Structure 1
Amino acid sequence: MAETNRTAVYVYEQVVILASCILSFFGSLLIICTYLRWLDLRTTPRKLLVYLSVSDLLSALSYFYGVLRIFDTDSADCIAQGAISTFANTSSFFWTVAIAIYLYVFIVKSSQRQADNLVLYFHLISWGVPFAITVAALSLHKIGYDASEVSVGWCWVDIQAEDHVLWMLLTGKIWEFIAYVTLPVLYILIKIHINRAHAALSEYRPILTSSPVSHSLSSMADRKLTLIPIIFIMLRVWSTIRFLLLLTDSPAGHNPVLVTLHGIGNTFQGAANCIMFVLFTPSIRSRLVALLCCKGWDRHCSSESVSQNRANAYTPSHREENTSPQTLANSME
């Protein structure tokens, strides 16, 4: 525990949060590797998920260093870590919302061309805005030691800056609040559209809609469209609570349980995405199992097992121009 920290960070909190950082790092890495490994998974939503995973991976690394060090002053590495985590964390917010906007335009507006045209703007905004904000904060010497008031050992906005609340908003909190509102609205609209499409389809194609495989895939996609905003909010809400408690100068922000939840929430996003979109996706999970089981076997075993799993499991179409809205939703499993 750093004695000069206004908010105490205990050893058990360090251990838990460091473990969360490690899980998030490897989870983000696994998302990237599966995308590179299998060509038919390279749909645009998966590509956007990879960009999000790059942000989460960078965020996990910077938080890991910050939690390991437990800064107690405005050192050079504190400022560097604070700048990297500010950029990565803010970028993660933008990419999370970008994925929701892409799915909304593609599925609800039924326009793949319009959705694909947005990708360039996603890059400009999701990388450019966080970069500009971080450079501005660094130039004005706003990044530094924050006494773990709205962090857990790592550096963010200098708590001694007179306008630290404004910079906390600009470097993260305002984008977090926007995501809280935007994500649920977009995913609710997507779910409503898909449910209406299913209802219309069931009138004319009862055999297809009663198919166990079709029903299973639709249910899984529906559950994940529900879970995406819920998990995001559940992970991020603890840091928001501590920020609001800081504004009211409440001692409740120093509560060890709240501090631990804040640390896990800020660092676990990459792992949560991996669980949802890799481990809980039958097509990818079966391939990973086949890859692990057949490692060291002859090439014939490997090819036969992977082919069998691809035949039995749902896989997104590599030809995105033929992708239906429901298939696109499924591809984000």
Structure 2
Amino acid sequence: MANGTQTEVYLSEQVVVLCTCALSFLGSSLIILTHMIWTDLRTTPRRLLVFLSVADWLSAVSYAFGVGSVFRTSSPECIAQGAVSTFANTSSFFWTVSIAVYLYVFIVRSSQRVADSLVPFFHLVSWGVPLVITVTALCLKKIGYNASEVTVGWCWVRIDAPDWVLWMLLTGKIWEFLAYLTLPVLYILIKRHIHKAHVALSEYRPILASRPPSQSFSSMADVKLSLIPIIFIVLRIWSTVRFVLLLADSPVRQHPVLVTLHGIGNTSQGAANCIMFVLFTQPIRSRLCASLCCCCSKCRAEAPRSDGTPQRHQTRRDSSTQREEEEEDGTSCAQSNR
């Protein structure tokens, strides 16, 4: 350790980070569940997003365990948590870049065949490289107590290891830096290609102007292409700042605000992906709303039967209202199954 101290993790910071872990856990789970339920939405980019969500799900669980424990020594629990979070976090970087590469090849290079052929390579790299790095770090006893110098209560690379800088780079930071550079470039190229395609079809705009839904979908996709690298950098930059401050041996890395932002950023990727690719995706959002309405309508329809109230005491108006609700319920269910 540079100055022989440790960063204090306060209870308020623990609560905030645990909340973001819970949101990421729920968000990643929702992405996985929607992919399992609606088979017609199982496109290749969605499958890649599910693999990313699995990594984010593991990260959220391992980070929550670490933040809740706030380890003080390199105990077996600390080492196990550090290994899982190291693997999951590194895998998340690789899958995030893999999705960008797939979209670039598919959209800019206009080759779905080549893009699909890259999927096995994505699996090999995004699961294999983090696994090899994590196992190697475990065998060399590099994972353990970190004193929260570049974490927020959880374990990572042992801060007392003589080559801790090298292993922090190998187990996360170097891939984080590469993602900072790769993601903006790829998504800018994708946006430029889409913009050129729109310009080339400018003579058809009077025809397309009468189709506002297509325009809204296109604008939302354009917004997502802009937000993906921005959100990634905004969330991850705080851990990078603390790492640089640690290299400079600056006490600013222990500031509670910076520590809190670091904890929120590292644990919010699953929640951010859920917001962008589930809640802000109109087809999936519509199906979720229809399913919720369907469940609520069923509960309201079954309530009079469960409380023992005889059906003959209901008024004619209540009966007609119930029939209307059941009809709406059937319509919603039918729409959700399409």
| Same fold, TM-score > 0.5, yes or no | yes
Contact 1:91 1:126 survives alignment (8 Å): yes
Q: Cα deviations across residues 97-153 of structure 1 (Å, max 9, x unaligned)? A: 000000000000000000000000000000000000000000000000010000000
Where do residues 166-177 of structure 1 align in structure 2 (5 Å cutoff)? 166-177=166-177
Flag the structure with larger Rg.
2
- Note the alpha carbon deviations across 1:61-85, whole angstroms, 9 max, x for none: 0000000000010000000000000
What residue is the counterpart of 1:202 in the other structure? 202
Q: Counterparts of 1:181-192 in structure 2 under 5 Å?
A: 181-192=181-192
CA shift, 1:206, in A, is: 3.1
Residue type of the alignment partner of 1:268:
S
Q: What is the percent sequence identity of the aligned residues?
A: 70
Of the structure 1 ranges 166-175 and 197-206, higher mean CA displacement relative to structure 2 is found in 197-206
> CA–CA distance in 1 between the matches of 2:32 and 2:225?
21
Unaligned runs of 5+ in 1: 312-333
CA–CA separation in structure 2 for the residues paired with 1:309 and 1:54: 25
Q: 1:45 to 1:252 in 2, by over 3 A?
A: same
Cα distance in 1 between the residues matched to 2:153 and 2:5:
8
| Alignment correspondent of 1:90 | 90
Deviations along 1:21-64, one digit per CA (max 9) or x if unpaired, are: 00000000000001111111100000000000000000000000
Does 2:329 correspond to 1:305? no
2:223 alignment partner in structure 1: 223
Report if the CA contact (8 A) 2:83-2:138 is conserved.
Answer: yes
Contact 2:157 2:168 in 1 (8 A): yes
Structural mapping, 1:26-105, within 5 Å:
26-105=26-105
Cα separation, 2, equivalents of 1:303 and 1:121: 45
Counterpart Cα distance in 2 of 1:196 and 1:306: 41
SS in 2 for 1:152: coil
> Residues 284 and 51 (structure 1 numbering): CA distance in 2 closer, same or farther, change over 3 Å?
same
Equivalent in the alignment of 2:17: 17
The structure-2 alpha-carbon separation of the partners of 1:263 and 1:115, relative to structure 1 and needing over 3 Å to count, comes to same
Give the deviation of 1:304 after TM superposition. 2.1
Once structures 1 and 2 are overlaid, which stretch shifts more, 175-184 or 204-213?
204-213
Measured in 1, the distance between the counterparts of 2:246 and 2:156 equals 14
Unaligned runs of 5+ in 2: 302-325
Structure 1 residue 301 displacement after superposition: 4.9
Q: Distance in 1 between matches of 2:96 and 2:195?
A: 23
What residue number does 1:107 align with? 107
Deviation at 1:282, TM superposition (A): 1.5
Is the Cα contact below 8 Å between 2:147 and 2:153 reproduced in 1? yes
Alignment of 1:281-292 (within 5 A): 281-292=281-292
* Letter in structure 1 aligned against 2:332: S
User: Does the Cα contact within 8 Å between 2:291 and 2:336 map onto a contact in 1?
Assistant: no
Counterpart CA distance in 2 for 1:73 and 1:110 is: 52
Measure the CA separation in 2 of the matches of 1:54 and 1:176: 18
Q: Is the 8 A contact 1:283 1:309 kept in 2?
A: no
Q: Name the residue aligned to 2:178.
A: 178
> For residues 271 and 304 of structure 1, do their structure 2 counterparts lie closer, same or farther at Cα, with a shift above 3 Å needed?
same
After superposition, residues 249-328 of structure 1 pair within 5 angstroms as 249-295=249-295, 297=298, 301-302=328-329, 304-308=331-335
AA in 2 matched with 1:186: L
Contact 2:21 2:64 in 1 (8 A): yes
Partners of 2:24 and 2:270 within 8 A in 1: yes
Q: Distance in 2 between matches of 1:156 and 1:227?
A: 29
The amino acid of 1:178's aligned partner reads L
Q: Which amino acid aligns with 1:35?
A: H
Q: Which amino acid aligns with 1:45?
A: P
2 CA distance for matches of 1:264 and 1:154? Answer: 13
| Inter-CA distance 256–304: structure 2 relative to 1 (3 Å threshold) | same
Secondary structure of 2:201 counterpart: helix
Query: Equivalent residue for 2:155?
Result: 155
Structure 2 length-normalised TM: 0.88
Shift of 1:305: 1.4
Q: Runs (4+) of structure 1 moved beyond 6 Å?
A: none
Aligned amino acid, residue 129 of structure 2: V
Secondary structure of the residue that 2:85 maps to in structure 1?
helix
